[in-house]
Structure 1
């Protein structure tokens, strides 16, 4: 390789590394600023998060702190989680700004809607978990508590439980985006997704049984939306699939 070409490659690599560092610093600065803004309200945020359980507990019952430092670390952990989730559009924008110059026009046209859809579906999944799933789960758990047993949950254990639920539902609601990406990569076709529908439904119910609490209500509240999202993913994949796949799908349809 000529020396001038080698120097140009090294310069380009350094420019990319500098740009990556700049984007990472901006992303981190956004999270830190939001976290600092949330810290004075950390205890209030935890109170809001605990409300679905407190509403189901008997009058006078409350959460407890088993560990000495839990009253400090649990709200802090929640504030950090909220900061990361609330700045997700900013974080994804920094990632987009870094990779966008290297994308083709069609890739840019498809990537941006996919990113927006992914963020929106994650937020919808978390909201669905908080407003519908958690009250149902805690209603079931409090109803099966044996007589003579006081349900007093540790605040750190409660936080971990709720965050797992949030992540489970938020990531599960990304199913349509995942199916579209797999289709765009050419790994699957809309026809295959339709043919695998039965296996997908079984897998969804197995997954729901594994990642949700051991009650039928929460399992159904995850499995049914995921089945509907799978169907939505098939429709979206068919609309966005490359033309060759679209022609194959049309050819696979039975004649009427």
Structure 2
């Protein structure tokens, strides 16, 4: 049914088509999630708790830099962090939740492909031609965002939040659910944020945004980037800058993308009038 022309399908047929794309996406997420559930040690000890361990790649790299440049503050997450679970079913439900998130992250290229198959028939042939590689680039950007958040933002967030104290009389004993929620939100936010150029590409293709309008609101985008960085990161300047800078770069990349689309459109219109 995905190959049918949009104008030949009724509204209910579109809903039925969408339903099956969603069902297949959930099946893919479930399959990967079950695999992640079975490999509990790798999922938790290596991946989830990795950024909190002293031997984590980023932590080791920063400690080497601290020794090299005599800056002890750079050496982070060197103390063992204790986690606690206060709910009877807390660890089991956390295991299921994390497995689902892992399935979503790993199956993202397939999920995006499913929704792309649903949207693609509604595009004109010329639009489909210019949209080639959308799945590849969306998957690459999502993966880069995930890795950036995991290897850069997460260790810094853990260092700041686990050591912050309102008083010496209060010890930090981290709740397992709170830790998982923090790591998950940071990583997923990183993946979504890095999709900004893809979003701008499609908005520019349909004429909703232009390079001129993006330039006009450049200052507003910087403020929005700062606010978004403040929301998804701990309240320390370094983490906020590390998130804000890529956002600004991605926005500038979006301007370049929009400008290229406008040039191609102008060229195509010129050829039509010749």
- TM-score bracket relative to the smaller structure: 0.7 to 0.9
Pair 1:162 & 2:183 matched:
yes
1:215 to 231, 236, 242: 236
Which residue does 1:50 correspond to in 2?
49
TM-score by length of 1: 0.81
Matched, 1:120 2:134: no
Distance in structure 2 (CA, Å) of the matches to 1:66 and 1:176: 42
- Any residues of structure 2 matched to 1:1-256 within 5 Å, and which? 16=14, 18-47=16-45, 48-55=47-54, 59-145=79-165, 146-241=167-262, 243=264
**RMSD, aligned CA:** 2.7
- The answer (yes or no) to whether the contact 1:125–1:173 under 8 Å persists in 2 is yes
CA distance, structure 2, for counterparts of residue 127 and residue 11 of structure 1: 40
Q: Answer whether contact 1:184 1:242 (CA < 8 A) is retained.
A: no
- TM-score, scaled to structure 2: 0.76
Partner of 2:3 in structure 1? none
Kept in 2, the 8 Å contact 1:43–1:75? The answer is no
Q: Deviation per CA, 1:104-160, whole angstroms, max 9, x where unpaired?
A: 222212334333322221221111011011112222334443545432211111111
Contact 2:52 / 2:81 at 8 angstroms: preserved in 1?
Answer: no
Question: Does structure 2 retain, via aligned residues, the 8 Å contact 1:54–1:62?
Answer: no
Structure 1 unaligned spans of 5+: 1-8, 248-256
- Counterparts in 2 of 1:74 and 1:177: CA distance versus 1, 3 Å: same
Contact 1:45–1:75 (CA under 8 A) maintained in structure 2: no
How far does residue 243 in structure 1 lie from its aligned partner after superposition?
4.5
SS of structure 2 residue aligned to 1:213: coil
Contact 1:137/1:213, CA 8 A, preserved across alignment:
yes
Number of aligned residue pairs: give it: 239
Cα distance in structure 2, aligned partners of 1:201 and 1:236 = 18
Q: Secondary structure at the match of 1:132?
A: helix
Q: Match for residue 254 of structure 1?
A: none
CA distance in 1, matches of 2:11, 2:79: 63
**Shift of residue 42, structure 1, vs aligned partner:** 3.0
**Aligned-residue offset at 1:242:** 6.1
Worse-matched range after superposition: 184-193 or 138-147: 138-147
- 1:189/1:59 CA distance change after superposition, 3 Å: closer
CA distance in 2, matches of 1:179, 1:112: 16
Query: In structure 2, what is the Cα distance between the partners aligned to 1:162 and 1:22?
Result: 31
Question: Cα offset for 1:236?
Answer: 1.3
